[in-house]
């Protein structure tokens, strides 16, 4: 049998699909490139597929090029190994020289990946000339591409070659084109991180990083922070962070004064984009100076200036840095007063900032100052700010404060927290925004652990039960789940008395449930579908966490009472509930003599439901029967 046509089919199919008029079809075809290569095998991939792709790389749309550039990075195993990778690299080089950033970036990523899969001598033979050629290109895109390839070779060459590479990089960082300078600035932190890694792992290497290397890097950095283009200059903040981390790793603080000057220059830059980046990385910069208070103290006023910045985005960014910077300050005796006198007044001002995103950012971080300031200062200075922010009109501000209240609780204690914040929490629990109510619900179990059963019953139980009748399903569902968590905290007897008795109408008065289907001082009205299914969900969820006698005497009879409910949705949830109850009975068979007869009763009920007219009811009934039979052997 002649298989020649079959052998040609994968490549012919790809060629045909890549001639399709629709770009989307050509993109989809290119996504199958690895599958085609596997079908062809290494030899035909090198001899037939790669030459074809070389032609494609010179005549198609950018979307196709981007997929091609990404796919080729994984091709070394598909072409039979590194020895065949030169034609692959040539294709990627074409793509890396393109003007479209997406295509260029994909190709550079792939070239860097290929560099990790080829031998050292081949890497130097192929990549060093490629970097040199691209860096001297007559078009900016080639120079930008070269910036992204230095990381493949920088720590794999000897000291002299590394210095030559850094000098080439300096020329790129000084290029007339802002796009080239921007490319050099964006990749420089990665190169410095590589040098940091090399220094940490090979401290005794004869090719270790020395002062001559850092002189060149320092020249590049100074060139960047004085660049006339904001789009270049703001990238120098990350370069500064990378340099600082290097000198931290080698415990060298001799350059601190020089770096501090550079830091202050960037923090006070006239461009808001530069100030924003400096604000966003402030703690990383401050970390380098945190071991010397004389240096660290020089950052206090710049920090405050960023908090007072006229740009909202800058204020938003610096708010996130509050806890870490204040923690550095707090490590030195007497600095709590500096925080209280200089920083807290600005926090108070920012808590009422006209920009809601600034207030939300502050709300996310301000509670973390409690451990730094201690109990009394938190009570006197931060608690009033928390109360103001809990009443903020923007929901995210309230949510961010609520989500971190446990941090405050650890410092000032639950009693003080509850007295001051309980009214605000109660108000937020009835907030018009359902996500705010949800955040409060999620916080309740944490609060309950520390309030204790008696206080919780008096102040919050009524609130928790009212959520069962909320018009939003997500709230009802969350309420069902926290009642289980509360039962795990307070115990089965508490659940029996405070939850189950109320839901099963075993009290003369139901003071704690009101809402849809429920009225104050009345029994629960099960005629409402939402009420019935919410009660069913609650009872089912409580089965695993209450004692088995409660399951036998109260929960199982309650579930049985709804087995003939007119609504199919109720009936198939009854079928699910029977399985949960059966599992509890099987686990308690040693302490419950009649567990076998109860399970037989459940199977009988499920047998009836398995003949229900509704498909879903039959399906879940059969599933439960099967699972119960497995459990009982």
Per-residue pLDDT of 544-603, as tens digits, reads 999 999 998 999 999 999 888 999 999 999 999 999 999 999 888 878 888 889 999 999
Residues with Cβ within 8 Å of 622's Cβ and at least 6 positions away in sequence, in order, are: 610
Percent helix / strand / coil, the chain, rounded to 5: 75, 0, 25
Task: Tell me the CA distances in angstroms from 477 to 280, 421, 456, 482, 585, one per residue in order.
Answer: 38, 25, 21, 9, 25
Distance of CA 480 to the CA centre of its chain: 27
On whether the CB atoms of residues 89 and 114 are closer than 8 A, the answer is yes
Please report how the helices 256-267 and 236-249 are oriented relative to each other, as an axis angle in degrees rounded to 10: 160
Q: What percent of the chain is predicted at pLDDT more than 90?
A: 53
70 within 8 A of 110, measured Cβ to Cβ: yes
DSSP state, 496? Answer: I
Q: What is the average pLDDT across 19-24?
A: 76
Note the pTM of the prediction, 2 decimals: 0.75
Q: With a cut of 60, say whether residue 466 has pLDDT above it.
A: yes
Contact 110, 85 (CB under 8 A): no
Phi (first) and psi of residue 515, to 5 degrees: 140, -150
Q: Is the dihedral of CA 516, 519, 523, 525 positive or negative?
A: negative
Regarding predicted confidence, which is higher, 510 or 173? Answer: 173
Tell me how far apart the alpha carbons of residues 49 and 346 are, in angstroms, rounded to a whole number: 64
Identify whether the C-beta of residue 218 lies closer than 8 Å to the C-beta of residue 209.
no
pLDDT tens-place string over residues 367-379: 999 999 999 999 9
C-beta atoms surrounding 80 within 10 Å: 14
| DSSP count for the chain of H helices, then E strands | 43, 0
Tell me the fold of 491-504+525-632: 1.25.10
DSSP designation for 265:
H
Q: What are the backbone dihedrals phi and psi of residue 518, each rounded to the nearest 5 degrees, phi first?
A: -135, 135
Q: What is d(CA 153, CA 166) in angstroms, rounded to the nearest whole number?
A: 11
pLDDT higher than 70, residue 482 = yes
The DSSP result for 5-27, as a single string, is: HHHHHHHHHHHHHTT-S-HHHHH
On the question of pLDDT at 268 being above 60, the answer is yes
Bridge partners for 518 per DSSP: 515
pLDDT of residue 39: 84
More confident residue, 492 or 12: 492
Task: Tell me the pLDDT tens digit for each residue of 393-440.
Answer: 887 888 788 778 778 878 887 777 767 777 777 777 887 888 888 888
Q: What angle do CA 158, 161, 166 make, to 5 degrees?
A: 120
> Which pLDDT does position 8 carry in this prediction?
53
3 has a pLDDT exceeding 50: no
- CA dist 549 and 530 (Å) reads 28
Q: What is the pLDDT of residue 259?
A: 86
What pLDDT shows up at residue 278? 95
Is the C-alpha dihedral spanning 413, 416, 419, 423 positive or negative? negative
Q: Enter the tokens of residue 343.
A: 């920083």
The pLDDT value recorded for residue 506 is: 53
Cα separation, 181 vs 233, in Å, equals: 9
Residues belonging to the chain? 633
The rounded distance, in Å, linking the Cα atoms of 53 and 37 is 12
pLDDT score of 147 more than 60: yes
Q: Has residue 137 got a pLDDT over 70?
A: yes
Express each pLDDT in 507-535 by its tens digit.
433 333 334 444 444 467 788 889 999 99
Report CA torsion sign: 282, 288, 291, 295. Answer: negative
Q: What is the pLDDT of residue 62?
A: 85
Token pair 């012919």: residue: 12
For residue 508, count CB atoms less than 10 angstroms from its CB and return exposed for 0-12, middle for 13-18, buried for 19 or more: exposed
Q: Write out the H or E segment, with its range, that includes residue 611.
A: none
Task: For the chain, report the end-to-end CA distance as a whole number of angstroms.
Answer: 57
Beta-bridged to residue 515, according to DSSP, are: 518
Could you tell me which residues come within 8 angstroms of residue 201 by beta carbon, excluding any fewer than 6 positions away? none
- Residue 9: which pLDDT band, with cuts at 50, 70 and 90? low
- What pLDDT sits at residue 11? 67
Mean pLDDT value of segment 174-199: 93
Regarding the domain delimited by 8-118, which CATH topology (the fold level of the hierarchy) does it fall under?
A: 1.25.10
Burial readout 218-253 (b: 16 or more C-beta within 10 A, e: otherwise): bebbebbbebeebebbbbbbbbbbbbbbbbeeeeee
Tokens at residue 240, please?
């500064």
- Those residues whose C-beta lies under 8 Å from the C-beta of residue 358, and which sit 6 or more positions away, are 312, 315, 316, 319, 350
Write down the pLDDT at residue 1: 38
Above 70 in pLDDT, residue 251? yes
Higher per-residue confidence, 133 vs 24:
133
The answer to whether the CB of 559 falls within 8 A of the CB of 539 is yes
CA dist., res. 180 & res. 139, Å (int): 10
Lowest mean pLDDT among 255-264, 422-431, 533-542: 422-431
Q: What is the mean pLDDT of the chain?
A: 87
The residue with tokens 């996310």 is 364
Q: Could you give the residue range(s) of every CATH 1.25.10.10 domain in the chain? A: 8-118, 491-504+525-632
């Amino acid at each position: 049998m002649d298989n020649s046509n079959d052998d040609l089919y994968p490549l012919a199919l790809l060629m045909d699909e890549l001639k399709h008029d629709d770009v989307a079809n050509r993109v989809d075809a290119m996504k199958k490139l690895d599958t085609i290569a596997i079908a062809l095998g290494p030899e035909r991939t090198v001899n037939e597929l790669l030459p074809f792709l070389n032609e494609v790389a010179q005549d198609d749309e950018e979307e196709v090029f981007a997929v091609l550039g990404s796919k080729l990075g994984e091709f070394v195993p598909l072409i039979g190994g590194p020895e065949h990778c030169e034609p692959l690299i040539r294709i990627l080089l074409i793509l890396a020289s393109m003007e479209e950033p997406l295509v260029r970036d994909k190709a550079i990523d792939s070239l860097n990946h290929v560099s990790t899969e080829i031998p050292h001598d081949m890497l130097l033979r192929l990549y060093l000339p490629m970097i040199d050629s691209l860096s001297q290109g007559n078009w900016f895109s080639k120079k930008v591409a070269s910036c992204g390839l230095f990381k493949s070779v920088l720590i794999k060459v000897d000291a002299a070659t590394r210095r030559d590479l850094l000098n080439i990089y300096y020329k790129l960082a000084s290029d007339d084109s802002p796009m080239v300078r921007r490319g050099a600035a964006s990749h420089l932190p990665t190169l410095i991180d590589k040098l940091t890694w090399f220094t940490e792992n090979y401290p005794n290497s004869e090719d270790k990083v020395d002062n001559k290397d850092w002189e060149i890097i320092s020249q590049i950095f100074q060139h960047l922070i004085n660049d006339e283009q904001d789009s270049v200059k703001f990238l120098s903040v990350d370069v500064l962070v990378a340099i600082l981390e290097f000198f931290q790793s080698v415990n060298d603080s001799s350059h601190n004064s020089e770096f501090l000057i550079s830091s202050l220059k960037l923090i006070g830059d006239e461009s808001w984009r530069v100030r924003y980046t400096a604000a966003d990385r402030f703690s990383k910069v401050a970390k380098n100076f945190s071991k010397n208070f004389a240096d660290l103290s020089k950052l206090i006023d710049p920090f405050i200036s960023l908090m007072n910045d006229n740009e909202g985005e800058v204020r938003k960014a610096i708010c996130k840095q509050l806890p870490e910077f204040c923690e550095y300050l707090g490590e030195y005796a007497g600095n709590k007063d500096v925080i209280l006198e200089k920083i807290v007044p600005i926090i108070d001002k920012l808590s009422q900032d006209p920009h809601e995103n600034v207030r939300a950012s502050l709300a996310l971080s301000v509670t973390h100052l409690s451990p730094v300031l201690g109990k009394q200062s938190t009570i006197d200075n931060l608690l009033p700010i928390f109360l103001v922010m809990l009443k903020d009109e923007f929901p995210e501000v309230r949510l961010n404060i609520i989500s971190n209240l446990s941090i405050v609780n650890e410092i000032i204690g639950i009693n003080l927290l509850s007295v001051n914040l309980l009214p605000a929490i109660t108000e937020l629990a009835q907030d018009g925004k359902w996500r705010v109510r949800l955040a409060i619900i999620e916080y309740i179990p944490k609060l309950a652990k520390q309030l204790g059963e008696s206080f919780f019953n008096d102040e919050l139980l009524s609130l928790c039960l009212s959520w069962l009748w909320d018009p939003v399903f997500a709230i009802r569902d969350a309420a069902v789940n926290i009642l289980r968590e509360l039962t795990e905290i307070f115990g089965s007897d508490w659940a029996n008395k405070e939850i189950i008795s109320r839901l099963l109408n075993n009290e003369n008065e139901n003071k704690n449930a009101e809402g849809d289907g429920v009225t104050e001082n009345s029994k629960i009205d099960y005629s409402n579908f939402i009420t019935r299914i919410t009660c069913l969900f609650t009872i089912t969820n409580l089965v695993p966490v209450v004692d088995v006698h409660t399951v036998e005497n109260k929960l199982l009879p309650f579930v049985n009472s709804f087995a003939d409910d007119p609504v199919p949705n109720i009936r198939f949830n009854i079928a699910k509930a029977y399985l949960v109850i059966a599992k509890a009975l099987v686990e308690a068979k040693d302490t419950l003599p009649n567990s076998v007869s109860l399970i037989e009763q459940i199977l009988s009920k499920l047998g009836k439901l398995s003949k229900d007219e509704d498909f879903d009811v039959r399906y879940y009934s059969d599933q439960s029967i099967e699972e119960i039979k497995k459990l009982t052997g």
